Structure 1
Amino acid sequence: METNEAIDILKQEGHKYTDKRRTILDIFVSEDKYINAKHVQQKMDKHFPGISFDTVYRNLHLFKDLGIVESTEFDGEMKFRIACTNHHHHHFICETCGETKVIDFCPLEEVKSQLPKVSINTHKLEVYGVCEHCQTV
């Protein structure tokens, strides 16, 4: 997802456009990996000195509710990334740097064959490990 697409979603859902929200979105689009709210706050502080953690966190959860960002939890904290909207896929997530890699394989059909009497509403597959770059550092 690109920044302008995310802003369109905000407006369509009746939320105000602000420079702070655009900057948060720009951070996610440029980083394109899982990052925590503290990292976002530190980046935001360069443009908006003194921005509160609560402001960043509230916006991240709004973006999550609107499907603009995705979240996961590892290392005992919530991390976020810009939502993928181009096609159905899953992610490998580096536990060291937060980089993500697309996994185009989806195991849902196999899961359905193993659980024929259940109704599956949604699913998410995340694979965690250490990326090639972080292994060499």
Structure 2
Amino acid sequence: MDAQKAINTLKERGYKYTDKRKEIIEFLDEQKGYVSAKQVLMFMQEQYDGLSFDTVYRNLSLFADLGILEASEWEGEKRFRLSCEEDHHHHMICLRCGKTKHIPVCPMEHFHAGGDDFKITSHKFEIFGYCTPCQHS
């Protein structure tokens, strides 16, 4: 998803369109992978002195609930990126820089984990490691 589509989704769902929300979305659009709420806050505080972590986190959570953002968690911290619009896929995620790489296959295609007595409604599969540049730094 690009920034304009994310902003349109926000408007279509009846949420206020503010400069702060636009800047959060545009910042995430410029990133190559997942970023933490702290990173977003540091960026936003350059323009909005006194902006609280709670405000940033509430907006990130709202965007994730609306499907604008994807969320993942590692090292005890939730991280966010703009949602992909491509076919169903999963990601390899660099633990250092947050960059992602698509995994073109889905492990769920190979088994029916729930059996007949369990209806699967969603799943998540992520592989964590280090991208080539981060392996050498």
TM interval, shorter chain, is over 0.9
DSSP 3-state at the match of 1:85: coil
Alignment of 1:83-94 (within 5 A): 83-94=83-94
Instruction: Check if 1:75 corresponds to 2:75.
Output: yes
Shift of residue 115 of structure 1? Answer: 4.5
DSSP 3-state at the match of 1:123: coil
Alignment of 1:15-54 (within 5 A): 15-54=15-54
Distance 1:26 1:87 in 2: 23
One-letter identity of the residue aligned with 1:43 = F
One-letter identity of the residue aligned with 2:41 = Q
TM-score by structure 2 length?
0.94
Distance 1:119 1:131 in 2: 35
TM-score by structure 1 length?
0.94
Higher alpha-carbon deviation: 5-14 or 114-123: 114-123
Distance 1:32 1:19 in 2: 22
DSSP 3-state at the match of 2:33: coil
DSSP 3-state at the match of 2:111: helix
2:34, 2:80 within 8 Å by CA — same for their partners in 1?
yes
One-letter identity of the residue aligned with 2:97 = C
2:10, 2:16 within 8 Å by CA — same for their partners in 1?
yes
* RMSD, aligned CA: 1.2
Higher alpha-carbon deviation: 31-40 or 116-125: 116-125
Shift of residue 83 of structure 1? Answer: 0.6
One-letter identity of the residue aligned with 2:85 = T
Where in structure 2 are there 5+ consecutive unaligned residues? none
Alignment of 1:1-137 (within 5 A): 1-112=1-112, 115-117=114-116, 118-137=118-137
2:34, 2:100 within 8 Å by CA — same for their partners in 1?
yes
DSSP 3-state at the match of 1:88: coil
Shift of residue 97 of structure 1? Answer: 1.2
Deviations 1:93-125 (A, max 9, x none): 11111111111111112122x544232211111
DSSP 3-state at the match of 2:86: coil
Shift of residue 49 of structure 1? Answer: 2.1
